[in-house]
Amino acid sequence: MKFVIMAGGKGTRLWPVSRAGKPKQFQCLTGDKTMLQETYLRLRQIAEPQDIFIATNKEYVGEIEKEILEFPKENILAEPIGRNTAPSIALAAAVIASKNDQEIMGVFPADHFIKNPEVLLDAIQKGSLFLEKNDQYLLTFGILPTAPETGYGYIKKGNELKKIGDFQIFAAEKFVEKPNYETAQKYLESGNYLWNSGMFLWKTKTIIEKFKKYVPDDYRRLIRIKDSLGKGNFSEVLEKEFPEMDKNSIDYAILENEPKIALIPLDIIWSDVGSWTALKDTLISNNKENLVRGEHINFDSENLLVYGSDKLITTIGVKDLIIVDTPDAILICDRNKSQLVSDVVKKLEESGKIKHL
């Protein structure tokens, strides 16, 4: 089994800590290790370094080499330009298939928080057993929802396909986009919907076949990249072909169209840490308590996230705020509007304020 860590995102909703030069996967947001390090160490419990790949933008190669000293440099898949998850997975599949297209390939984002990883690791092993006998399926992991979350996509589960150990494996009936609150509440009450975790497992040969079926132009580019491996012109072919791939998510390109999707529900404490509010709620569920990093004096304030650098931050009589201080930028935000932080980044881009990106 091979594992691919997806580490090319920008994490714009966690600005001003997550920046273009060092986005959230390279930040210590949930502990004393970066999110990439946490993900890598999680997978190291079931895999050797040579069986793990990191897909990223070429500008982050140096940061990865610095963070994971033991990591084989040849397993860093340096993309010439960011093109979303479908091209990234296509490149990883091409590299893995060049040695063994029957290999099971797991795909895991670098920037997720998982409190009880042993459940996920067990599910990965059980999922691989399922795929050995049902290799026409693509398999995804869904998270049992605990709240009517509007920041995640959902997967509706269908009929049970198999039970292996403690895990039921269902058909995925459909993928749905991020809902409004009322729809999310209905999903929660039905018990038939799971959060879309963005974590996948499949035979490498199978995912390549799905590219051929649903995105044939990208498939042809994938094959040209695969055929160039080991021939001395790989970098040249990659620079030419990869930027021409459609800028699509794997969900949109393949999963939403494919009928043979298997789904393993996971009862774990999980978050994609997609916003400052998500970070606070992940680490402290009590909405009266404050999550504080740095020096903070508080008088009668509650439900705050205070993320400081080298300044003392004092709050008096406020609640439901996100306060983030970095050396060159400060964010003060209503916690219920933290999804809009990415709009700040767009505004900075439009106004040419590059130094703050």
Locate 106 and state its tokens.
């797991």
What is the 8-class DSSP label of residue 2? E
Which amino acid is present at 82? G
- When pLDDT is averaged across residues 180-195 and rounded to a whole number, the result is 95
What pLDDT shows up at residue 235?
93
Share of the chain above pLDDT 70, in %: 100
What is the 8-class DSSP label of residue 229? T
Instruction: Please give the Cα distance from 302 to 299 (Å, whole number).
Output: 9
N- to C-terminal Cα distance for the chain? 37
Q: Is the pLDDT of residue 208 over 90?
A: yes
Residue 5 host element (H or E): strand 2-6
What pLDDT shows up at residue 4?
99
Tell me how far the alpha carbon of residue 130 is from its chain's centroid: 23
What pLDDT shows up at residue 286?
79
What pLDDT shows up at residue 287?
79
Residue 266 host element (H or E): strand 261-266
Compute φ and ψ for 79, nearest 5 degrees. Answer: -80, 140
Q: Which residues make Cβ contacts (< 8 Å) with residue 159, sequence separation at least 6? A: 170, 171
What pLDDT shows up at residue 107?
99
* CA-closest candidate to residue 137, choices 191, 80, 71, 207: 207
* CA-closest candidate to residue 79, choices 243, 283, 280, 304: 243
Sort strands 2-6 and 104-109 into parallel, antiparallel or unpaired: parallel
Confidence of residue 285 (pLDDT cuts 50, 70, 90): confident
Q: Is the pLDDT of residue 16 over 90?
A: yes
Residue 330 host element (H or E): strand 329-334
Which amino acid is present at 46? I
- When pLDDT is averaged across residues 41-48 and rounded to a whole number, the result is 98
Yes or no: say if 150 and 181 are a contact pair by the CB < 8 Å rule: yes
- When pLDDT is averaged across residues 53-69 and rounded to a whole number, the result is 96
CATH number of 2-274: 3.90.550.10
How many other C-beta atoms are found inside a 10 Å radius of the C-beta of residue 38?
Answer: 21
Locate 254 and state its tokens.
């393949």
Whether this model's pTM surpasses 0.85: yes
Please give the C-alpha separations between residue 213 and each of 33, 135, 175, 253, in angstroms, as whole numbers: 40, 16, 19, 10
What is the 8-class DSSP label of residue 48? -
The domains of the chain are located at 2-274, 277-356
Locate 213 and state its tokens.
């079926």
- When pLDDT is averaged across residues 322-341 and rounded to a whole number, the result is 95
- When pLDDT is averaged across residues 297-314 and rounded to a whole number, the result is 95
Helices assigned H by DSSP within the chain: 35-44, 61-67, 85-97, 117-133, 181-190, 204-214, 216-228, 234-241, 250, 276-283, 341-350
pLDDT tens per residue across span 218-244:
999 999 999 999 888 999 999 999 999
Q: Please confirm whether the linkage preceding 145 is cis (ω < 30° from 0).
A: no
* CA-closest candidate to residue 39, choices 5, 78, 86: 5
- When pLDDT is averaged across residues 134-157 and rounded to a whole number, the result is 95
Q: Average model confidence (pLDDT) for the chain?
A: 95
* CA-closest candidate to residue 262, choices 181, 345, 200: 200
What pLDDT shows up at residue 182?
95
pLDDT tens per residue across span 90-102:
999 999 999 999 9
Q: Is the pLDDT of residue 309 over 90?
A: no
